[in-house]
């Protein structure tokens, strides 16, 4: 049986890095709690504020095993910073994340998942349709990237970056979903909205009844309306403390 090395980094890293580790570990746990994980695959990465270093999951651990201390610190090329780190990362899985972090330095977190709902909608020619309020949130900042096989070729990065542009939501055709945000909470809430949008679309399609689509003008105005609703704060900032409390209640070991 493989035993996970127990590390204690809290007193050996900056307060900013430790808080990022706690928030990122919580995000991994929330994804597992939602049933969005995919065995040991898919990734959530976050930039440590004030640095060019990123944190990502150790390859081989399930999301419910992620803790603040066993997240791996790497550079933008995927090189592990700590020579004594007992873990490794999945280089193939990091290709997408490195491309996004390189192109969107201002965003802290990149969340990439393979949920059934997002893969299903990403595999439709029409993609995400304006059928719900959740879809309007996503469509206000949506992009698509065509499937090129396993994301292991470095030359795919430039095409992914071009397709992403300034969007915060991306459907990877035949593959899954990607969201990003200026905070870990933002990226998580973006994925929550996108996943709900895909779930609702599939349920509407399964009904066989005629849907009512939201007008494009309304979709275009969603961003401005969201800013008013959140009184200058992002959705992640408003909801993230509640999400942290949920993870603490379920299993506080994530913050160790």
Question: What local confidence, expressed as pLDDT, does residue 12 receive?
Answer: 86
Q: How high is the pLDDT of residue 231?
A: 46
The pLDDT of residue 150: 74
Which domain range does residue 149 map to? Answer: 10-249
Residue 234 lies in a domain: yes
CATH number at residue 113: 3.40.225.10
Answer whether residue 102 is part of any domain: yes
- 223: how many CB neighbours lie within 10 A of its CB? 13
- Domain membership flag for residue 116: yes
pLDDT for res 235: 62
Q: For residue 97, what are its two tokens?
A: 């994340």
The helix (H) or strand (E) run that includes residue 224 is helix 216-229
Instruction: Report how far apart, in Å, the C-alpha atoms of 183 and of each of 112, 177, 180 are.
Output: 15, 18, 8
Residue 67 included in any domain: yes
Asked, for residue 166, whether it belongs to a domain, the answer is yes
- Number of domains the chain contains: 1
Contact between 45 and 76 under an 8 Å Cβ cutoff? The reply is no
Q: What is the CA radius of gyration of the chain?
A: 18
Q: Is residue 2 part of a domain?
A: no
Burial zone of 256 (CB within 10 Å; 0-12 exposed, 13-18 middle, 19+ buried): middle
| pTM, rounded to two decimals | 0.92
Structural domain includes residue 165? yes
Which residues in the chain land under pLDDT 70?
A: 1-2, 151-153, 226-236
Residue 231 lies in a domain: yes
Under 8 Å CB-to-CB from 226, ≥6 apart: which residues?
Answer: 137, 140, 235
Predicted local confidence at residue 18, as pLDDT: 96
- The per-residue pLDDT for range 177-228, each reduced to its tens digit, is 999 999 999 999 999 999 999 999 999 999 999 999 999 999 888 777 765 5
């Amino acid at each position: 049986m493989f035993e996970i090395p127990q590390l204690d980094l809290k007193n050996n890293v900056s307060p900013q890095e430790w808080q990022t580790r706690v928030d990122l570990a919580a995000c991994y746990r929330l994804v597992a709690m939602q049933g969005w994980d995919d065995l040991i695959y898919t990734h959530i990465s976050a930039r440590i504020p004030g640095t060019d270093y990123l944190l990502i999951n150790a390859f081989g651990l399930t999301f419910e095993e992620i803790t603040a201390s066993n997240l791996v610190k790497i550079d933008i090329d995927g090189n592990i910073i700590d020579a004594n780190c007992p873990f490794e990362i999945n280089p193939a899985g990091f290709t997408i994340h490195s491309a996004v972090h390189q192109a969107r330095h201002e965003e802290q977190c990149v969340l990439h998942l393979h949920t059934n709902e997002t893969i299903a909608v990403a595999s439709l020619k029409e993609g995400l349709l304006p059928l719900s309020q959740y879809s309007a949130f996503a469509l206000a900042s949506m992009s698509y990237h065509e499937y090129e096989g396993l994301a292991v070729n470095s030359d795919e990065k430039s095409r992914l970056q071009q397709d992403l542009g300034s969007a915060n939501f991306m459907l990877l055709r035949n593959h899954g979903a990607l969201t990003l945000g200026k905070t870990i909470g933002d990226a998580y809430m973006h994925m929550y909205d996108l996943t709900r949008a895909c779930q609702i679309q599939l349920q509407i399609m399964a009904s066989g009844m005629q849907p009512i689509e939201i007008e494009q003008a309304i979709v275009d105005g969603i961003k401005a309306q969201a800013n008013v609703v959140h009184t200058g704060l992002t959705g992640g900032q408003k909801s993230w403390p509640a999400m942290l409390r949920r993870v603490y209640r379920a299993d506080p070991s994530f913050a160790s």
